[in-house]
Amino acid sequence: MLNRRQMIQHTAFTAAAMTTPGLFAEELTQTARQTEGPFYPNKLPLDTDNDLLIINNSITPAVGNVTHLTGRILSVSGEPIRNAIVEIWQVDNNGIYIHTEAPNRGKLDGNFQGFGRFLTNSKGEYYFRTIKPVQYGPRTSHIHLAVKQGSKRMLTTQIYTKGDARNKRDRILNSISDAKFREMLIVEYKPLAGSRTGELAANFDVVIGATPEDQKQDEGRNGPRRRRPARRR
């Protein structure tokens, strides 16, 4: 399992470097904050690693368009933020969150983790293997992302999909009045170089200030958990 993950991560980072432009944080503009929303998991899954397609040692992957999401977490001075916890959560391919009170829970894809965590490396890089987000309810397609250091939430935002027609009328996205800041939250999902199964690569770099937000509501949430090697049989 570890070798498989290392191979996936290496491939994704290489593809992202080849298919995405330079840092959008060139001018050190802070990433816009967005609401956490009502469906941050109230009960975390047993598996909270950075591969949302496979739960624990299951061999059945989640349904959806496989996406390798990469990026860097930077300070306003351009320095990489190392050892930061990056969290993402999103709906499955049926448009359902893993939150126990989410609508249509009966149609939930039981193979989709729905939530993941990753600890940034010395370059501030993070990586997730997930699915391309889909629309649900009145919302446009998006992935929630949060950055933490220790118990302090440094940033909460959302990643939107380039070309989604609902972007123009999404209430949360358009709560940002400045078009420049809105565009910084919109990413393009490009074909993953060398993939024979239509996998995608997306890159979302983040610039955050030094002032924590959401600290009170975030206290008590646990840190990232490393995946255990598969048991030998």
pLDDT for residue 224 is more than 60: no
Provide the residue range defining the domain that includes 11: 2-218
CA dist 53 and 211 (Å) reads: 33
pLDDT at 90: 98
Q: What would the pLDDT profile of 100-152 be if each residue is shown by its tens digit? A: 999 999 999 999 999 999 999 999 999 999 999 999 999 999 999 999 988 89
Tokens 């496989």 -> residue: 66
| Percentage of the chain modeled with pLDDT above 70 | 78
Query: Average pLDDT in the 155-167 region?
Result: 97
Domain count, the chain: 1
Inside any domain, residue 150: yes
Inside any domain, residue 227: no
Inside any domain, residue 23: yes
Q: What would the pLDDT profile of 54-96 be if each residue is shown by its tens digit? A: 999 899 999 999 999 999 999 999 999 999 999 999 999 999 9
Residue 215: band (very low, low, confident or very high) from pLDDT cuts 50, 70, 90 = very low
Inside any domain, residue 233: no
Between 2 and 86, the higher pLDDT residue? 86
Inside any domain, residue 34: yes
pLDDT at 150: 84
Inside any domain, residue 177: yes
pLDDT for residue 221 is more than 70: no
pLDDT at 13: 53
Inside any domain, residue 225: no
pLDDT at 5: 55
Inside any domain, residue 26: yes
pLDDT at 26: 47
**CATH code for the domain of 78:** 2.60.130.10
Tokens 């990753």 -> residue: 118
